[in-house]
Amino acid sequence: MKNHMKIEFLSVSQNEALARISVASFISQMNPTMDELTDIKTVVSEAVTNAIIHGYEDKPDQTVLLECAMEDEQIEIIIKDNGIGMADIEQAREPLFTSKPEWERSGMGFTIMENFMDKVEIKSDEGAGTTIRMVKQLTSTRALAN
């Protein structure tokens, strides 16, 4: 089965839960395992939090775009912001690196995404924002019947 959804929401931290729950509800029709569902909710939370805190520097009047697509047993999630972008993606991917040490951020967001998903692609341009694309192949083939 092929399906797709897209939502936009303001860059306020409370909307991180909206994003996580929306993706979880959307992919539930594929009947993922609890571990798969937990992993996916975690990476959505990390990516959205990065967009809000790092991309938009906690400015609440900006927009975060969330897209989710599924086909067969594969899930694709895209989180996009039009914030400040990153000068050095490879540095940002390093465990424990954070652009906001004064906020007591752990710097583990990209590491978590890369460990929980099969593929993580990051595109970023300074002053133009960041797009994170994540793909996971579900191990179960227990998709719910229509």
Positions annotated as catalytic residues are: 46, 50, 105
**CA–CA gap between residue 100 and residue 54 (Å, rounded):** 8
Q: Burial code of 54-87, b = ≥16 C-beta within 10 A, e = fewer?
A: bbbeeeeebebbbbbbbeebebbbbbbbbbbbbe
3-class SS of residue 124: strand
Which residues are CB-neighbours of 59 under 8 A, at least 6 positions away? 11
β partners of residue 70: 3, 75
Which residues are CB-neighbours of 98 under 8 A, at least 6 positions away? 105, 106, 107
